[in-house]
Amino acid sequence: MKKRTQLKFLMSIVILFWVGNLFGQAYQTDITKQNQASRYVLGDNKNIQFPVNILGLVQKPGQYLVPYRTNLITLVAFAGGFREDAKISNIKIVRHVGTNGSNGTRGKTRVYQVDVEKYFDKGDTRQIPQLMPDDTIIVSGSTTKTVNKIFDYVGKGVMLAQLYFLIRVAND
């Protein structure tokens, strides 16, 4: 009698695991049928994170998983800060707004411009927006730095030309 009870108990456990596994697989299959990956991730400290991209003139451009309520300045800090030739008065944020229907495709795209230089001058945090999932931040270069680089290259070229001229005159 005791063996029969143990056998029934063991069989019911096996059946429960089997049924649980079936439901788990069905749930997993539904997730894999989605057209896009989840935009939110649970981080190490049990905080919600989402991906954002930062491109252009920062020390370490790329994609970052940032905590919920991260602002632009914090993302730039994650990316190692602005490079010297960054134009911080005109940073662009490309944001996808809404979706088209149930298939998960993206809707409209909006481009926002942020003047971080004003934030640095006045310290007004209202100048700095909160980031949203899949935002792309673009930090372009300043024209002054570009012109300076051109003059630097021209100056080096002139020095090489003078050196060539001096060597040629010395050989004549």
Superfamily of domain 41-141: Outer membrane lipoprotein wza domain like (3.10.560.10)
* pLDDT given at position 29: 33
DSSP string for residues in 71-112: BHHHHHHHTT-B-TTB-TTSEEEEEEEEEEGGGTEEEEEEEE
3-state secondary structure at position 115: coil
Spans of all domains in the chain: 1-33, 41-141
Task: Give the integer Cα–Cα distance in Å for 80 and 141.
Answer: 16
Q: Where are the alpha helices (DSSP H) in the chain?
A: 2-32, 72-78, 116-122, 143-171
* Per-residue pLDDT tens digits for 133-164: 999 999 998 777 777 788 888 888 888 888 88
Q: Could you tell me the pTM of the whole model?
A: 0.58
